[in-house]
Amino acid sequence: MKKYNALVLGLVALSTAAFVGKPSDDPKRKGLDLSGMDLSVSPREDFFLYANGAWLKNTEIPASETGWGSFNILRDENNRHIHEILEVAAKSKAKKGSIEQRVGDFYASGMDTVAIEKRGYEPIKPILAEIDRIKDYKSLLAYSAAHPLEGGGTFLGIGVGADAKNPDAYIVSMRQTGTGLPEKDYYTKDDAATQKVREAYKKYISTLFTLTGTEAAQAQKLAEAILALETKIATSHLGRIEMRNPIAQYNKFATKDFAAKVPNLDLSALLTTLRMKTDTIIVGQPKYYEYLNTMLPNENIETLKAKMKFSVISGASANLSSPFVNANFEYVGKTLNGQKVQQDRWKRLSSQTDGMLGDLLGQLYVAKYFKPESKKRMDELVANLQKVFETRIKGLEWMTEETKQEALKKLHSFTPKIGYPTKWKNYDGVVVKRDDYFGNLKALSKWRYDEMINRLGKPVDKTEWGMTPPTVNAYYSPVRNEIAFPAGILQWPFFDPNADDAFNYGAIGAVIGHEMTHGFDDQGRQYNYMGMLKNWWKKEDADQFKQRAQLVIDQFDGYTVLDNLHVKGQLTLGENLADLGGLSVSYAAFKTYTKQGKSNEKIDGFTPDQRFFLAFAQIWRTKTRDEALRLRVNTDPHSPGEFRTNGPLSNFEPFYEAFGVKPGDKMYRPDDIRAKIW
């Protein structure tokens, strides 16, 4: 997700006290959170702390959370709205097959802890028994293809998606899999924090085996063997930074040709059993499957089976009885993310219902919580930012006219999606039972798999969304060239129809601009106006882009998160570029299309420009546990909130003008290293 903007005229040598504001008398306007600011901090030294310091001092991360900030607060509120809907639906005795019956009974089945505790791990016992009957690697592969949802994905990452070079068509693709730690470096790094994660992972594996009847000593041996196997597999993987290159991940083969490269996998038979028979295939990371081709015949079959069984148990653990849920939480929640206690079950089930039946729940959510006027306002904001983006592209001094025309063609081809889908999925054929939670999960997983398989041979459905309506997030899809803003995010603190334009352009406007800029970041720029992975840049323009992007990489590489742990500028490049572009474009739209943007009239003691930047900074307010921070720095393409605030602003001249930033201030960056792209 993304968001950002800012700019404003300011008095150059104002003291911090000059920026003190007073609360608004208008009870309808939420807008800025003035009480969350720390006016003892100079906006020229640390704008993130200036805008959010009091909130940071006075806010404790809830024990059940990995962090707390604008996104978490709104997600928590949304979860409560979803909970209300589900509680009503669960008690409604609605007609069988109705939306209310299906979402209500799914939720009720997951809340029926008496039945879930009674069943223990019975739901997966038949799967584990079937894996036990596997005799060799060939029968393991046969099982994998026959049971793609019951351990079959342990070693095979095969699915159906849009063809990046023919985005109107679906194609079968293969991706690397086979590891359980967050990133390949977790298998080899020897620092204390990483070693702690590995030890906790081994304990998690052994605990799950003991819970399913394996003696403790044997469970420990299995954990050691599985970690050793995954460590070998990880050597064949690409890292997250390497995975950011879409060209390198697009390896198209005639199926028979790639099958000849990996004869031990019997690829043709696998695809037939998976119901994905096809003449062509994309292999994202061929090295992994070439390794698998050599490894499987030579690896101890009992180790391979143990790895598959662990994948099944772990994948199901959060939905089984409490010993399994607790084991999962000890590793994933506590060790990886630093949670102190588990979220309440109703919260977990509210999220689970949204994840499994999002288009049904979404209809109820939109009807109750999404106002038509919000969509109208968003349509206006998107249109204004799109027009400004056009002007900015036309005015770029570093880009040739030929490449500009292609960029404009892409911009004009954006498909905005706001609020909710125009066509809802109905989950046809799925019978939701009030007394069978795990059965409901299996039925819905099978429906999703069948839906994916049935896409082959059909044109890509451009009406589909990549997120559910209650989601507090937004996205850009390069192969669809679409930007989407679910209803869930169109609320305070990102959007407030009663607030001033400075607030909305600084908050949701920056989000809109962020998603638009993703179409032109280091990954998005490699897709053309039709969503096709195809170069449309002249070489000199691409070189100019890379030079400017390198400034952003270098800047973020220099930010320290914990101890000697730094932000990874290359991993976070796309998001950082989108943050900077979103800030620039939204600010320009604010100044161009709003009356407030053309005035200097203060509200609560702040000029319009200052309010714009404060809104931008407050959407990124967050406190995160050290464990979660460490995990995210290693795996997440988003930078921590303080750097998403100060990083873009320190590159932005209008921010300097708004708050009087000058050489010697910490927010100041010399002009020759400021990133100026879009």
What six digits make up the tokens of 239?
Answer: 């890292």
Q: Is the pLDDT of residue 16 over 50?
A: no
pLDDT over 90 percentage in the chain? 94
What six digits make up the tokens of 358?
Answer: 């999002």
Q: What is the pLDDT of residue 22?
A: 34
Choose the CATH number for 35-59+371-421+462-673 among 3.40.50.410, 3.40.390.10, 3.90.226.10, 2.60.120.10: 3.40.390.10
Q: Which of 246, 271, 33 is nearest to 171 (CA)?
A: 271
Q: What is the pLDDT of residue 7?
A: 23
Q: What is the pLDDT of residue 4?
A: 27
Instruction: Please write the tens of the pLDDT for every residue from 175-203.
Output: 999 999 999 999 999 999 999 999 999 99
Place 581 in a pLDDT band, splitting at 50, 70 and 90.
Answer: very high
What residues does CATH 3.40.390.10 cover in the chain?
A: 35-59+371-421+462-673
Q: Is 671 exposed, middle or buried (0-12, 13-18, 19+ CB in 10 A)?
A: exposed
Instruction: Please write the tens of the pLDDT for every residue from 130-188.
Output: 999 999 999 999 999 999 999 999 999 999 999 999 999 999 999 999 999 999 999 99
What residues does CATH 1.10.1380.10 cover in the chain?
A: 124-204+227-300
What six digits make up the tokens of 216?
Answer: 């403790």
DSSP 606-675: B-HHHHHHHHHHHHT-EEE-HHHHHHHHHH-SSPPHHHHHHHHHTT-HHHHHHHT--TTSTT---GGG--
Instruction: Please write the tens of the pLDDT for every residue from 391-436.
Output: 999 999 999 999 999 999 999 999 999 999 999 999 999 999 999 9
Instruction: Please write the tens of the pLDDT for every residue from 472-531.
Output: 999 999 999 999 999 999 999 999 988 999 999 999 999 999 999 999 999 999 999 999
For residue 41, CA distances in Å to 391, 508, 646 come to 36, 26, 14
- Non-local CB neighbours of 155 within 8 Å, separated by 6+ positions: 140, 141, 144, 177, 178, 292, 296, 304, 307, 308
Mean pLDDT in residue range 655-659: 98
Q: Which of 298, 286, 228, 230 is nearest to 262 (CA)?
A: 286
Q: Which of 254, 255, 256, 251 is nearest to 286 (CA)?
A: 251
168 CB neighbour count, 10 Å cutoff: 14
Place 27 in a pLDDT band, splitting at 50, 70 and 90.
Answer: very low
The answer to whether the beta carbons of residues 47 and 668 sit under 8 Å apart is: no
Q: What is the pLDDT of residue 188?
A: 97
Coil, strand or helix at 63: coil
Q: Helix (H) and strand (E) counts for the chain?
A: 26, 11
CA 407, distance to chain mean position in Å, is 26
Of 57-66, 260-269, 367-376, 570-579, least confident by mean pLDDT is 367-376
What six digits make up the tokens of 38?
Answer: 């720390």
More confident residue, 69 or 21: 69
Q: Is the pLDDT of residue 26 over 90?
A: no
CATH class of 124-204+227-300: mainly alpha
Q: Is the pLDDT of residue 658 over 90?
A: yes
Q: Which of 209, 273, 249, 142 is nearest to 479 (CA)?
A: 249
Task: Report residue 226: phi and psi, to 5°.
Answer: -65, -45
**Arithmetic mean of pLDDT over the chain:** 95
**For residue 544, which amino acid is it?**
Q
Widest CA span in the chain: 77
- DSSP lists the bridge partners of residue 606 as 603
- DSSP lists the bridge partners of residue 252 as 282
DSSP 10-36: --TT--GGGG-----S-TT-----GGG
- DSSP lists the bridge partners of residue 622 as 69
The answer to whether the beta carbons of residues 594 and 525 sit under 8 Å apart is: no
Q: What is the DSSP pairing of strand 252-254 with strand 415-419?
A: unpaired
The answer to whether the beta carbons of residues 132 and 301 sit under 8 Å apart is: no
Of 332-341, 368-377, 392-401, least confident by mean pLDDT is 368-377
Q: Which of 526, 556, 555 is nearest to 541 (CA)?
A: 526
Q: What is the pLDDT of residue 17?
A: 31
Q: Which of 511, 611, 587, 581 is nearest to 51 (CA)?
A: 611
Q: Is the pLDDT of residue 563 over 90?
A: no
Torsion from C-alpha of 595, 598, 603, 609, nearest 10 degrees: 130
b/e code 61-84 from CB counts within 10 Å (16+ = b): beeebbbbbbbbbbbbebbebbbe
pTM score, whole prediction = 0.93
